Structure 1
């Protein structure tokens, strides 16, 4: 799966034409965003495979989360811990919880195989908490696998456009 948010290039150097994601894949990507907006984090976690990775690189062009600093680099176990902590009544950094809404572009297929698909979606996320407002924008890259006739998220990479600004208290998945 590509990890750079730059548009894919053909061998000729021109941009590759991406195809629109099938309806079931687009519905999955939109459903994931809705679950995050609603803070239905247990249901959100259920969309991911047991070997899932969730990565938000700290710098443009990062391709190796094991050698570079990341805003998030969570395997499934860390994702489960994060969801548990966010639901705990003593999670003061999210008391009161942030309210968020995401607006997504149409998901576009970058690559696909028999039971795999890489999908790119542009997003803007608005967050409000304690009279503070923040806006995040960027590109979601989802690597999906089909398991028992359903698409599941194996890897999600979030390339933030505003990753180099002060990003205090990001505890909720973007």
Structure 2
């Protein structure tokens, strides 16, 4: 099995954001390992998602439930559906460890979520903790750190 190149890792991050923007959530879920997590800390510099509150700390099962809710015909909070748009800076590869099957990227972003006449802009950094599973890159952890993570938020409907 060949180790992924830096361009493969950057391409993964860009593809992942596109799947969210295009609401291809089932394909997005397939990018996670079976024990993968989606984490959005509540405090700047937070190091522990278990002993401290987080905005999100979802395993794959909870992510699947959220996706099914978004697709549901009777999800009235999604009539009309929320939409989003990522603007990413070029992802930076922070770690490439083929022997340990560990790859880490860091990506500054702006993210817009909209529904009806309301638009909400978020800014932050995402970290993708990746590994290869049967020759395919998968997310073990996606961590999303918002610049203003400790602010009061309304409902965040989609995934950053």
- Per the normalisation by structure 2, the TM-score is 0.91
State the distance in 1 between where 2:75 and 2:151 align. Answer: 24
Structure 2 counterpart of 1:155: 141
Give the deviation of 1:112 after TM superposition.
Answer: 2.0
Q: Tell me, which stretches of 5 or more residues in structure 2 are unaligned?
A: none
The 3-state SS of whatever aligns with 1:85 is helix
State the distance in 2 between where 1:132 and 1:119 align. Answer: 31
Cα deviation 1:39-74 (Å, max 9, x = unaligned)? 110011011110101100111121111111111100
RMSD (Å) for aligned C-alpha atoms: 1.2
State the distance in 1 between where 2:79 and 2:6 align. Answer: 38
Contact 2:82–2:157 (Cα < 8 Å) also in 1: no
Which of the numbers 23, 26, 51 marks the counterpart of 1:39?
A: 23
Structure 2 counterpart of 1:166: 152
Structure 2 counterpart of 1:94: 78
Contact 1:119–1:141 (Cα < 8 Å) also in 2: yes
State the distance in 1 between where 2:74 and 2:65 align. Answer: 14
Give the deviation of 1:119 after TM superposition.
Answer: 0.6
- Per the normalisation by structure 1, the TM-score is 0.84
State the distance in 2 between where 1:111 and 1:24 align. Answer: 13
Structure 2 counterpart of 1:85: 69
State the distance in 2 between where 1:55 and 1:39 align. Answer: 19
Q: Tell me, which stretches of 5 or more residues in structure 1 are unaligned?
A: 1-20
The 3-state SS of whatever aligns with 1:152 is strand
